[in-house]
Copies of this chain bind each other. A is one copy, B any other.
Amino acid sequence: MPHNYRLKLKEKKINLATDLKKVELEPLNDSTEGKDQPLPAALEPGKALGFALVGLGTLTLAEILPAFASCKYAKPVALVSGDPVKAGKIASQYGIASKNIYDYKNFDAIKNNPEIDIVYIVLPNSMHEEFTIRAANAGKHVLCEKPMATSSAEATRMIDACEKAAKKLMIAYRIQYEPNNKLAMKWTRGSEFGKVRVIEAMNCQNIANSGQWRLKKELAGGGSLPDIGLYCLNTSRYLLGSEPEQVIASTISTPGDSRFKEVEEAVFFQMHFPGGVVANCSTSYGIHQSRRYRCYGDNGGWFGLDPAFAYKGLKMEVSKMVDDVEWRSNPAPGEKNQFALEMDHMARCVIEDKKPFTPGEEGLQDHKIMEALYQSAREGKPVKISGNPTGIDVFRGTLPE
């Protein structure tokens, strides 16, 4: 009984039709140059939904906090950190009141803070469950970084807790909200390139041997797979809209590389989707960064991104036969701040009381598949994924506009 969303609308008096500060100006350029992007329009600060950021690591500081400047519906209002000095610096930089700084112990006190609408969890993976449940119990909606947790069991408990508390739960799969990837998704499911029969995906980077939690099994749940390989996995599912029936995987760590004592360096995996469609994927923590995917159609073309998965600088690449001539192209549907798109979607789902496009169930499914991948690697055989509902986007909610 999500009465609180209506309350939110009522309290803040948000009227999406009238509250966006839309301004239109005459075009500078001829229509041959393409339509101008709409001018930035946002709720006034007093009406935007308030986010509490839990965890002040690189992602929060370098990407998420700056991204609020590009949001229409969201603003940062609170910080949660174990380091009060750092939190104080960041709060003053972003104009966040010092009373809105929490630590991991007094976190539950957010329930008394009406400025906070949504909690964005940006912690080591093993802490996602605890803070999601505590946030939901404090009456707040939750946006949780990927991977959702370190196991499907944890993910299930997170979904249950949010359902019980009647709070939204969204996993931060920013790729699914981004214009280039949305165009690739449209093409994958459409007919411009025929039927997509094969997807190639790669996500790799050379990780620092700095004692970071990503290299600790207990904190991260795995190595390259849940951190970066997950993009290959999740994006393939997103593009196709369907679910894999069977997977094959192997894991590799270079002998003698001290970074990979607890977690794997690399995973090479195939996901077999209905109708003979295969995604062949590679992920590694041990090589120079490369982030890419390509979707191969059977009607004279393929398309993809290289780089894909990066925070910015995405680049589409297309091959298409036109009148017996191959055109290699880079269409540029525009770059938008991916974190802003994702946070705005979460905020709108709260305002309009809708299920996020990437809800907890989307994250849970990835954990089930990752567990199948590890099993396949361990046992040296293909592993079936069973029990998926039939249909398209079966684990997803409301399509973002």
Residues of A within 8 A of B (CB): 21-23, 25-37, 39-45, 56-58, 61-62, 65-66, 69-70, 86, 89-90, 92-93, 95, 193-194, 197-198, 200, 202, 204-212, 214, 248, 250, 252-255, 265-266, 268, 270, 272, 275-276, 278, 280, 282, 284, 286-290, 294, 296-302, 312-313, 318-319, 321-322, 324-335, 380-382
Contacts and interface: CB of A to CB of B under 8 A. Distances in A.
A325 B34 contact: yes
Contacts of A382: 250, 380
A66 B290 CA distance: 31
B276 A290 contact: no
27 contacts: A23-B86, A26-B208, A27-B210, A29-B208, A32-B321, A33-B205, A33-B206, A34-B321, A40-B62, A194-B288, A197-B265, A200-B200, A250-B272, A250-B382, A252-B272, A255-B275, A268-B280, A278-B282, A280-B282, A284-B296, A286-B298, A290-B294, A290-B296, A322-B331, A327-B331, A327-B332, A380-B382
B40 A66 contact: yes
B301 A21 contact: no
B324 A28 contact: no
A106 to B, nearest CB: 22
Given A36-B58, A61-B25, A282-B280, A326 B332 contact: yes
A158 to B, nearest CB: 25
Contact of A30 (B58, B207, B272, B330): B207
**Assembly stoichiometry (copies):** 4
A239 to B, nearest CB: 15
A197 B328 contact: no
B209 A21 contact: no
A95 B30 CA distance: 33
A335 B313 contact: yes
A275 B287 CA distance: 14
A190 to B, nearest CB: 13
A29 B205 contact: yes
Given A23-B90, A204-B296, 15 more contacts: A25-B61, A27-B208, A27-B210, A28-B208, A34-B300, A66-B70, A69-B69, A194-B288, A198-B204, A198-B266, A206-B300, A288-B299, A288-B302, A288-B321, A329-B329
Nearest to A196: B287
Contacts of A22: 89
A17 to B, nearest CB: 15
Contact of A276 (B254, B301, B321): B254
The SS class assigned to the A binding surface is mixed
Nearest to A43: B93
Contacts of A332: 313, 325-328
Contacts of A39: 58, 61-62
Contacts of A197: 254, 265-266, 284, 286-287
Contacts of A276: 252-255, 265
A341 to B, nearest CB: 15
Nearest to A58: B25
Given A32-B298, A268-B278, A275-B255, A198 B287 contact: yes
B200 A30 contact: no
Nearest to A304: B290
Contact of A42 (B41, B57, B93): B93
A193 to B, nearest CB: 7
A335 to B, nearest CB: 7
Contacts of A89: 21-23
7 residue pairs, one from A and one from B, having the closest CB atoms: A69-B69, A287-B296, A32-B300, A329-B329, A21-B93, A34-B324, A254-B276
A364 B275 CA distance: 34
